[in-house]
Structure 1
Amino acid sequence: MNNRILNHPILGKLEKKKEVRFFFNNKEYKGYENESIAAALLANGVRTLRYHEETSAPRGIYCNIGHCFECRVIVNGKQGIRACLTPLKENMEIESHRALPTPVRDWGKSNE
């Protein structure tokens, strides 16, 4: 967790919190319990959270306040979870969304 700000010039020192382990795309990381998944991933140097469903372009955190859906991940098998709003818990299994097997842009063209 070497990317974490431990002593903020305005907010002061980061309070000591319970450290937990979690998994992102089958790799083990450590974060702090109840911090957002997005914050834990960023602190561990993870910038790509998912891949665009159609183009496979890497996507990361955009607004970080729950307005957009760029930070969607799969948490313990449940899809569409926003990493910026979801508190981290011990042993969470988090996965990136991947491109869909059939391109979205082709869906429905046979009905035209």
Structure 2
Amino acid sequence: MTDRRILDHPILGGQKSQKEISFTFNQKEYKGLQGEPIAAALLANGVRTLRYHEESGTPRGIYCNIGHCFECRVIINGKQGQRACLTPLEEGMVIESPAPLPTPVRDWRYENA
């Protein structure tokens, strides 16, 4: 399992734990190392697509992997818009791809302006 693992993250630092834990991504169970970034755990398990673009539907994955781009947004334990590259993995986490937004994406603040 460690041959594809990111062991030294530029922001979060080195992987401190080697304790293997379970988590789910889109209703499928995976194993990862406690405290490693969720993105690293998904990559190590061969998962490359984390969500789909809101308008075009194209697959999105990990782009910058340091928290700048927001391409890795996922739902973690029901909380939307979380960055997989910066969130440490914990036992039993439920991670999901966000549902596509209706197209075209509308900004409701300017709807009746």
Q: TM-score with structure 2 length normalisation? A: 0.80
> Which position in structure 2 is the counterpart of 1:37?
38
> Which position in structure 2 is the counterpart of 1:71?
72
Change (3 A) 1:99 1:3: farther
What is the SS of the residue equivalent to 1:63? Answer: coil
The count of corresponding residues between Structure 1 and Structure 2 is 104
Q: How does 1:1-112 map to 2 (within 5 A)?
A: 1=1, 4-5=4-5, 17-104=18-105, 107=106
Distance 2:18 2:111 in 1: 55
Distance 1:87 1:27 in 2: 19
Q: What is the letter of the counterpart of residue 4 of structure 1?
A: R
Structure 1 gap ranges (5+): 7-13
What value does the CA root-mean-square deviation take over the aligned residues?
Answer: 2.7
Residues 31-58 of structure 1: CA distance to partner in whole angstroms, max 9, x if unpaired?
0000000000000000001111111110
Q: What is the letter of the counterpart of residue 100 of structure 2?
A: A
Structure 2 gap ranges (5+): 7-14
Distance 1:5 1:74 in 2: 22
CA drift at 1:27: 0.1
Distance 1:37 1:15 in 2: 14
CA contact (8 A) 1:3 1:45 kept: no
Q: What is the letter of the counterpart of residue 85 of structure 1?
A: L
What is the SS of the residue equivalent to 1:38? Answer: helix
